[in-house]
Amino acid sequence: MTNYLSAFDSIKESYDLDILREIVEHGCTSGVATDHIYYHQTVLFYDDNEEEIVEYVDDNFGVEFLVELFKQNNANLNCYKNDVVWTFVELVASQLVDEFETTMIEYEQEVEDSYGDQLYNMRSLNDHNYAQL
């Protein structure tokens, strides 16, 4: 039995948080998405995951965006597939980074709510100890 990863999970497993942030900041054209740089990689990824990729991009940008990508690539199918994959990778990276940051903010708020007084007292004690040095 083959373990199948969705396209989304494949991106999630291919790149760590630092690389995902780099993808969000600089895009796939920068070469930071090392598993999705070359046409042979992106075309294969598209062919293996076409339905999920197209649906995800459509849900985020609409079908007109996909049509425009095709036109911008002068109906070159491989170039179109590459651009759709790069768009997908960038969207997934953005979502994963946003989810991580939201989770961290919520966690920090929970810690503050649960241990706020103790954290404040520890910070005050540290500040007092450093002031005496």
Within 10 angstroms of residue 66's Cβ, the number of other Cβ atoms is 18
The ranges assigned to domains in the chain are 7-131
**pLDDT tens, residue order, the chain (133 aa):** 456 899 999 999 999 999 999 999 999 999 999 999 999 999 999 999 999 999 999 999 999 999 999 999 999 999 999 999 999 999 999 999 999 887 766 656 766 667 666 655 655 545 544 455 5
Q: In this structure, what is the dihedral angle of CA atoms 34, 37, 43, 48, given to the nearest 10 degrees?
A: 10
Provide the whole-model pTM: 0.78
Helix residue ranges, H only, the chain: 7-14, 17-26, 39-61, 63-72, 77-131
